[in-house]
Amino acid sequence: MRTKVQYVAPFDSFENIYYVRDPYGRVWHSIGKDEKDATQQAKGKEEILNYMLYNPHKHKKFHNYDFKNLILDMLEQMNLEDTYEYEFVLEWNANEVFEFMKKSSLMPCDLLLEINKYQRRMLEDIEL
């Protein structure tokens, strides 16, 4: 992530207030004569006038994508709600859908073939 500096307001005649996002995604409240000086002040040390406003690692949460409904929606758009493949996808849990998404091209012309191939592979793994 690139460092980004945003001017906020004048602090006094010599110093200005800046928000600085460092390469780690942290946002700092910093003072300086110019952007370069403010960036130097926000190099990982907290002081009275230079302090961290936001740390993304404290608020980190993984995205929750709804891949199952994406696949079902694709099948519905192709009017394939009455197929075995649609039923297969309905029964998949989140891990199975994720594994399918990693291996699938999601090309409409290949979707039914890929679902069948994945379902067959899952059944073979269960039998072993």
Same-domain status, 37 and 76 = no
| Residue 61: inside a domain | no
Task: Give the structural domain span for 83.
Answer: 67-127
For the stretch 98-123, pLDDT in tens is 889 888 887 888 888 899 999 988 88
Q: Say whether pTM exceeds 0.85.
A: no
Residue 29 CB partners (closer than 8 Å, separation 6+) = 17, 19, 49, 50, 51, 52, 53
Q: What mean pLDDT, rounded, does the chain reach?
A: 83
Same-domain status, 92 and 44 = no
Given a cut of 70, whether residue 127 has pLDDT beyond it is: yes
What percent of the chain is predicted at pLDDT more than 70? Answer: 91
How, if at all, do strands 51-54 and 4-10 pair? unpaired
Same-domain status, 72 and 49 = no
Q: If you search the block for the tokens 């758009």, which residue do you land on?
A: 77
For the stretch 45-78, pLDDT in tens is 788 888 888 887 776 665 667 889 989 999 999 9
| Residue 60: inside a domain | no
Same-domain status, 71 and 122 = yes
For the stretch 15-49, pLDDT in tens is 788 889 888 888 888 888 888 888 888 887 788 88
Domain count, the chain: 2
